[in-house]
Amino acid sequence: FAIVHGLKRPAVARLQNCWEALGAKHLDTFRAMDALADPAGGFRLFWLALQDHSKAAVPFLAPYLHDLMEINDNEPTYTQPATSSRADLSEPPQDTDDEDALSAILSRDVNFGKFYKLYSIVSELEAFR
């Protein structure tokens, strides 16, 4: 991925004569690697290629970080069991002197689904150690 991103830098991409001098085999290899590094669809092609690959590999961290940030941003940390609300409840109310605010804090549940998703991504990264 570092090679692909290096070759896509503007200074390298402008070297038109060099790109034209490359053989079709090398250009096809570059295009295939470029498709793997494409973040479109949440790095869909990268994930498909990684699933099909059974040998040891060095992970490309960008797709993992993308998924971790997406889960953290889109999933609430807390849920309210009475309403099953999925509203943004990531921060508890600050006013704990009010009895209603304290009751709201205590009636919420931790969204374990969010943390299980985060754990599954981190454990997959741990497998590359």
Alpha-carbon separation of residue 41 from 51, 101, 121, 124 (angstroms) = 16, 41, 17, 20
Residue range(s) defining the domain that contains residue 53: 42-81+98-128
pLDDT range class, residue 25, cuts 50, 70, 90: very high
pLDDT range class, residue 84, cuts 50, 70, 90: very low
In this structure, is residue 61 part of a structural domain? yes
Q: Are 76 and 88 in contact (CB under 8 A)?
A: yes
Which residues lie closer than 8 Å to 90 by C-beta, 6 or more apart?
Answer: 76, 77, 78
77 and 121 part of one domain = yes
In this structure, is residue 105 part of a structural domain? yes
In this structure, is residue 49 part of a structural domain? yes
pLDDT digits (tens, 9 = 90+) for 97-119: 667 766 766 777 889 999 999 99
pLDDT digits (tens, 9 = 90+) for 37-56: 888 888 888 888 888 776 66
65 and 118 part of one domain = yes
pLDDT digits (tens, 9 = 90+) for 64-79: 999 999 999 999 988 8
d(CA 129, CA 127): 5
Number of domains comprising the chain: 2
Token pair, residue 126, equals 């741990």
